[in-house]
Each structure stands twice: as structure tokens, then as C-alpha cells.
């Protein structure tokens, strides 16, 4: 019997890119899934078949009362609800990134404790890693050094969340898993021109046939891109097999420069353009890619979708959903 079959599972941020795919995968395994919607409506994300099987609740997770209400009667919690603003927003509006996320994290893990939730997954981020440590980034180095200045507010909020998870596990015995996803992308991503992450931003520009094709920085930064279904599957495996306050990377083990990524996306979009570098714009951390050793050893987990395949799928989804793509500030 699948591990999640018959379990009452809460996915916060359930209408987000990762959360929505995770919710569908849990439903497919027979779980009874409750999701939160806040900015995006579930009716605009899910098919009618999935909507019939999901319990959808409106919640503001910065409010402790809402967090307590939605965790009642739940066996497992996947804590994905967060405020995301992209690189530019993180740099320009650090308070809007930091404070709500600390509140959400605190409210959710405390609500899980009060309501005797059996297992809790905290979603951290690869942005917690400092540029001062060696590559590929290994889990034991996550708290070493200062976070990159372009991701500082988000990174510190996530570091605090990991420490909270550790302390709640230590003091209250809660089964808490921690995942550090690397750059996740795919269908249902945010494609807003100012707040989107790199692949969504580049796909939009390519599909709009922008020429010249402008990219931030010098194109030499490297990233480890994970397709959304691989990220969701990794989260499920961590909560099932390793619900301990001991972080695990969700990474591919492959890194690619932004310039080479641009070339892949232009090819997938069948667009030829002159590439122009906007060196006055933030390009984020210079290099960020993760070790997969721990995930492979403990979980037997490896990603399944190649970057080329994932980009093709995301471009196709964008073309088919241009009138209703998700955009948020």
C-alpha cells in the first residue's frame, strides 16, 4: 500500500507551482489532501477531476489562528506556503521577504505541535548556502558563512526556519523533515516580468520573441535546475523515509551557466536573437549547485527529468496557457 494512501495531508501553498504538483501526486497515491489558497485560486489551477478530490481552504498563514485551524485533523503537513519576490524583490524589498516568511514558518510549526501533527516537512532553500563554501554545496555546510547578498533576506528566513525545525524536534519530539530544493521550474511557474525566477523569465522573453534578448549579469553564473515533479517527488520521499531535522538537498548534480541556459531556451522556443547583457542588474549568487550524495544514500533519490526535456515541457505549457499564466508581484 502506498505510504500516503488514506492519510490526511495538508499542503500549504497548494496553488503554487510546487504545491499544486505535489497535491496532485498525493491525490494519485490515495491521500486525502487539503490545500491552502491565498493569492491564486485553485479553480484556476486544477482540473475539475482534481478539484473534486481536494479540500480547498482560504488562509493567511501570517495569522496564527488561520494556521491552527487548517492543521486540525491532519496527519502530515507539507509547509510550502511562503512569500516569494524573485531576485529583484529580495534585493529591493528585504522586509517584505523576511518578516512574513518568519511569521508563516513560526505559526505553522507551532500549529502542527498544538494539533499533534504526525509528520511535518519544512521547505528550506538552496539560497541559504554561502558563496564562501566549496562546491557542490553539501548539507553540512548550510549554516557556514554569510548568505549571498542578493538572496540575503530569503536565506536568513530559511535558516531560521531550519533552526526552528531542529528545536521543535528536540524539545517536542515532532517528526520534522527538511528539504533544500535547488532552482525549481516548470508548468505553473510565476511568469511576471519583475518577480519571476530565471527560467520562467527567459521563457517569457523567448516566447515574446524579444530581440535583442536581454539577460541579467554576464551570463556566467551557474545554477542547478530541478523540474517541478522531481522536486515534489523528493519532498514526498523525505517525509516518508527521513522525517528528521537533518536537511537534504533536492538537486540534479548538474550545473549550467545562464548563457548556456539561454541558448537551450531560445532553441526550444525556435527564436533567434542577439543576446545582450544587462550588467547593472543583479544576477544573484555566482555559482549554486548541490551535492546529491546524501539524497542518493539515504533515500535512493535521483531526479528523472533532464533539463532539456523539462524546458521543452515548460515552453509547451506556456504556449498552451498564455491567457491564464500565473503572475504575481
Q: Which domains does the chain have, with CATH numbers?
A: 8-188+226-254+289-304 (3.40.50.720)
Four-residue CA torsion sign, 38, 41, 42, 45: negative
The mean pLDDT value for 160-180 works out to 98
The per-residue pLDDT for 87 is 64
Closest CA to 284 of 224, 216, 227: 216
Q: In the block, which residue shows the cell 490515495? A: 30
Q: What is d(CA 19, CA 13) in angstroms, rounded to the nearest whole number?
A: 6
pLDDT range class, residue 329, cuts 50, 70, 90: very low
Return the minimum-mean-pLDDT range out of 35-39, 59-63, 108-112. 35-39
Quick check: 291 and 225 in contact, CB under 8 A?
no
- The set of residues, in sequence order, having a beta carbon less than 8 Å from that of 150 and lying 6+ positions away, is 87, 90, 91, 282, 283, 284, 285
The mean pLDDT value for 99-113 works out to 97
Four-residue CA torsion sign, 239, 240, 244, 248: negative
The per-residue pLDDT for 108 is 98
The per-residue pLDDT for 326 is 59
- Whether the pLDDT of residue 328 is over 60: the answer is no
- The string of pLDDT tens digits covering residues 231-267 is 999 999 999 999 999 999 999 999 999 999 999 999 9
- Write the DSSP string, 194-253: TT--HHHHHHHHHHTT-SSEEEETTS--EE-EEEHHHHHHHHHHHHHH--SSS-EEE--S
The per-residue pLDDT for 133 is 95
- Write the DSSP string, 23-78: HHHHHHTT-EEEEEESSS-GGGTS-HHHHHHEEEEE--TTSHHHHHHHTTT-SEEE
**Strand order across the beta sheet in which 32-37 lies:** 54-58, 32-37, 8-12, 76-79, 119-123, 175-181, 248-250
Percent share of the chain, pLDDT over 90? 84
Radius of gyration of the chain measured on its C-alpha atoms: 19
Q: Which three cell numbers stand for residue 176?
A: 520534522
Amino acid at each position: 500500500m502506498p505510504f500516503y494512501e488514506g492519510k490526511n495531508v495538508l499542503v500549504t501553498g497548494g496553488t503554487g507551482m510546487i504545491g499544486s504538483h505535489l497535491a496532485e501526486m498525493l491525490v494519485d497515491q490515495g491521500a486525502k489532501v487539503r490545500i491552502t489558497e491565498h493569492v491564486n485560486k485553485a479553480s484556476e489551477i486544477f482540473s475539475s477531476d482534481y478539484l473534486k478530490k481536494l479540500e480547498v481552504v482560504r488562509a493567511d498563514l501570517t495569522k496564527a489562528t488561520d494556521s491552527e485551524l487548517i492543521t486540525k485533523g491532519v496527519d502530515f503537513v507539507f509547509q510550502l506556503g511562503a512569500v516569494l519576490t524573485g531576485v529583484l524583490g529580495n534585493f529591493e524589498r528585504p522586509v517584505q521577504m523576511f518578516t512574513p516568511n518568519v511569521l508563516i514558518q513560526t505559526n505553522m510549526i507551532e500549529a502542527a505541535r498544538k494539533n499533534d501533527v504526525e509528520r511535518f516537512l519544512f521547505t528550506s532553500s538552496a539560497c541559504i548556502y554561502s558563496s564562501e563554501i566549496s562546491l557542490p554545496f553539501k548539507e553540512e555546510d548550510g549554516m557556514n558563512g554569510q548568505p549571498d547578498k542578493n538572496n540575503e533576506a530569503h536565506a536568513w528566513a530559511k535558516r531560521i526556519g531550519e533552526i526552528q525545525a531542529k528545536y521543535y524536534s528536540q524539545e517536542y519530539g515532532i517528526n520534522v523533515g527538511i528539504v533544500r530544493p535547488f532552482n525549481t521550474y516548470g508548468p505553473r511557474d510565476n511568469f511576471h516580468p519583475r518577480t519571476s525566477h530565471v527560467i520562467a523569465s527567459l521563457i517569457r522573453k523567448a516566447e515574446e520573441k524579444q530581440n535583442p534578448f536581454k539577460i541579467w549579469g554576464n551570463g556566467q553564473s551557474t545554477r542547478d535546475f530541478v523540474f517541478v515533479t522531481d522536486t515534489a517527488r523528493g519532498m514526498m520521499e523525505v517525509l516518508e523515509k527521513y522525517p528528521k531535522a537533518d536537511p537534504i538537498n533536492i538537486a540534479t548534480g548538474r550545473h549550467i551557466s545562464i548563457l548556456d541556459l539561454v541558448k537551450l531556451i531560445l532553441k526550444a522556443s525556435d527564436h533567434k536573437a542577439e543576446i545582450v547583457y544587462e550588467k547593472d542588474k543583479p544576477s544573484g549568487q555566482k555559482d549554486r549547485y548541490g551535492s546529491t550524495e546524501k539524497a542518493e544514500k539515504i533515500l535512493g533519490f535521483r531526479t528523472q527529468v533532464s533539463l532539456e526535456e523539462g524546458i521543452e515541457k515548460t515552453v509547451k505549457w506556456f504556449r498552451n496557457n498564455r491567457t491564464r499564466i500565473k503572475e504575481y508581484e
